[in-house]
Amino acid sequence: MKIPPRLVAPLIHALYRLWCSTLRIRESNRAPLDSLAADGKPMVLCLWHDELFSLMHVRRDLRIVTLVSQSRDGEFLARLLQALGLLTARGSSSRGGASALLQAARLMREEKYNGCLTLDGPRGPRHQAKDGAVFLAFHASAPIVPIRLFMEKAKVFRSWDRFQLPLPFSRVHIIFGEPYYVSPTELSPEALERERLDLQKRLNALNLMHGVPSEEE
């Protein structure tokens, strides 16, 4: 008998909290993010799809809205994220994405939620940024915060993103990049591409704060 997502998600949520409680997490350069949050300024948190596992464990009191695809798998993920206390806007780059991003931007402007996006999700290519975060930041008039998560020991899956599951009791280093704003005056195709490449470069540059070469080198 197939168990409905509404029943499975709370169980996965409990396991997630237990799993993350064993991790030895170190955070670098979180102060600028916390300063924006203290001032009530929404932001767009951005990371790679394969590194997202531990991030929600350290969100503390941040109110977050995130995009989830309209697929069957997305329904399960939405239930799980809601169990973690997040809001979800349903859509992806291939279906309903623009309306979901505009919905998230409205929640950010009017209710002070923070957006959170995996830049290369939901289908890749791996570690190639799409333009959703730039679009969201522009329409919400919000700064972007690039984030990287480096796992000492992890199970790497054979999925398109090579998803990383940190092993219990292992170290995780979370690095927050400096918040920055995209161009406030236009979002032409040329500007969107320029901002997308800039965001990808900023995200890859965070490798250096962990002591490993940038992926663009």
Q: Which domains does the chain have, with CATH numbers?
A: 5-210 (3.40.1130.10)
Task: State residue 134's pLDDT score.
Answer: 96
Residue 182 Cα distances to 43, 59, 98, 192, angstroms: 12, 23, 18, 9
Q: What is the Cα–Cα distance from 212 to 209, expressed in whole angstroms?
A: 8
Region for 182 from its dihedrals, namely left if φ exceeds 0, alpha if ψ lies in -120 to 50, beta otherwise: beta
Question: Which tokens sit at 194?
Answer: 């320029």
Q: Is 108 exposed, middle or buried (0-12, 13-18, 19+ CB in 10 A)?
A: buried
Q: What is the Cα–Cα distance from 15 to 53, expressed in whole angstroms?
A: 12
**Can you state the percent helix, strand and coil of the chain, rounding each to 5?**
40, 20, 40
Tens of pLDDT along the chain (217 residues) come to 565 656 677 788 889 999 999 999 999 999 999 999 999 999 999 999 999 999 999 999 999 999 877 666 566 677 778 878 889 887 654 555 788 899 999 999 999 999 999 999 788 899 999 999 999 999 999 999 999 999 999 999 999 999 999 999 999 999 999 999 998 788 899 999 999 999 999 999 999 888 766 665 4
Task: State residue 215's pLDDT score.
Answer: 66
